[in-house]
Structure 1
Amino acid sequence: MDHEVRITLRLPGDLHSWLAAQAKSARRSLNSEIVYRLEDERSAAEADDASPS
């Protein structure tokens, strides 16, 4: 990560609860869980873009 940017993120309560539970299960902070999932989705999207049509 070159540099970090701080943002304010509004989530529906049920999504926040679910993400917090997932983070706890994976022994990550909520922030780390969100970053992990976004990076994973970005990798998948990049792989889809790179695959021949």
Structure 2
Amino acid sequence: MNGLVVLIPVALGLGLAGLAAFFWSVRSGQFEDLDGAAMRVLLDDDDDKESE
């Protein structure tokens, strides 16, 4: 029972920290361009190096 006195506040604190990090990432624009990163994986950067 004494362990729950420690573990419940720790779990709540970690949950709130994760929620705060999520809201911070949304406000700072981390999720603005979801398709851009997916398309950059498909682009071939070797074309730019051949023309130099």
The TM-score with structure 2 as length reference comes to: 0.45
**Greater length-normalized contact order (CA 8 Å, ≥ 6 residues apart):** 1
- Report the structure number with the largest CA radius of gyration: 2
Is the helix fraction higher in 1 or 2? 2
The TM-score with structure 1 as length reference comes to: 0.44
